[in-house]
A and B are shown apart, each in its own frame.
Chain A
Amino acid sequence: NAGVTQTPKFQVLKTGQSMTLQCAQDMNHNSMYWYRQDPGMGLRLIYYSASEGTTDKGEVPNGYNVSRLNKREFSLRLESAAPSQTSVYFCASSENRERYGYTFGSGTRLTVV
């Protein structure tokens, strides 16, 4: 099925550990995004990539890095996980200046203990 695929769906990390969240889309979208969702705060943009080869910071980039590996893939890396990074992470993609909204992955629930 066409769409956005995120892996893993669930992850528990210890403080200080690192991990990479993977995201791939097969809709030939130019733009890709990483959001985090926390209770009472909606979705907040971490990083985005307007096109292959470019990345930009969003509202809450501290503690994260991203890589736009190719047009299909956009990964999010936590170098040294902290409990404050416990959240649900969503990857999304869009085309054409987001006129048609975003297609979201199913999310990754990350717990840092």
Chain B
Amino acid sequence: AQTVTQSQPEMSVQEAETVTLSCTYDTSESDYYLFWYKQPPSRQMILVIRQEAYKQQNATENRFSVNFQKAAKSFSLKISDSQLGDAAMYFCASNEKLTFGTGTRLTIIP
């Protein structure tokens, strides 16, 4: 079974700066998918970005990008030009039963 670990319960960043959220995972699968979800105060779970494990290229969605290190089983999320609307809980997850990490609360400092 997969496990997903987020070691940063809380992070903060100045508005317009860049922040990186860490995630590590463990799996015996060769074909898998990884995701970052955002949960704002509204409680809605929003898919931010996904990475296919067999692809070497790191996924990018506008200001959000990942640093996927398959050998190290690391999947970090970089948020560039942070905005106040980025304040939320961020969860890393894998597609095996969609296992979630425990989340990182991101605060944006104006």
**What sequence of 0s and 1s flags, for each residue 84-104 of chain A, a beta carbon within 8 Å of any chain B beta carbon?**
000010101010011111101
Interface size on A, residues (CB 8 A): 24
Contact B35 A101 (CB under 8 A): yes
Given A90-B45, A104-B45, CB of A45 within 8 Å of CB of B95: no
Given known contacts A90-B45, A104-B45, A106-B43, A43 and B100 CB-to-CB distance under 8 angstroms: yes
In-complex Cβ contact of A42 among B42, B44, B47, B100 (8 A): B100
* A33: Cβ under 8 A from any B Cβ: yes
Asked if A48 lies at the interface with its beta carbon under 8 angstroms from chain B, I say yes
Query: Which chain A residue lies CB-closest to B9?
Result: A40
A2 at the interface (CB under 8 A from B): no
B98 and A88: CB pair below 8 A? Answer: no
Interface string of B74-110 (1 = CB under 8 A from A): 0000000000000000010101011111110000000
Within 8 A of B (CB), among A42-63: 42-45, 48, 58-59
Q: Are A99 and B33 within 8 A (Cβ)?
A: yes
A33 surroundings in chain B (CB, below 8 A): 98
Smallest beta-carbon distance A99→chain B, Å: 5
Check if B97 sits within 8 Å of A45, measured CB to CB.
yes
With A40-B9, A42-B91 as contacts: A101 and B100 at CB distance below 8 Å:
no
Residues 33-50 of chain B, each 1 if its beta carbon lies under 8 Å from chain A, else 0? 101010000111101001
The 6 closest A-B pairs by CB, nearest first: A104-B45, A98-B95, A42-B100, A42-B102, A43-B100, A101-B47
**29 A-B residue pairs with CB within 8 Å:** A33-B98, A40-B9, A40-B102, A42-B91, A42-B100, A42-B102, A43-B100, A45-B97, A45-B98, A48-B97, A90-B45, A92-B45, A92-B98, A94-B98, A97-B95, A98-B98, A99-B33, A99-B52, A100-B50, A101-B35, A101-B37, A101-B47, A101-B95, A101-B98, A102-B45, A104-B44, A104-B45, A106-B43, A107-B44
Residues of A whose CB lies within 8 Å of any CB of B are 33, 35, 40-45, 48, 58-59, 88, 90, 92, 94, 97-102, 104, 106-107
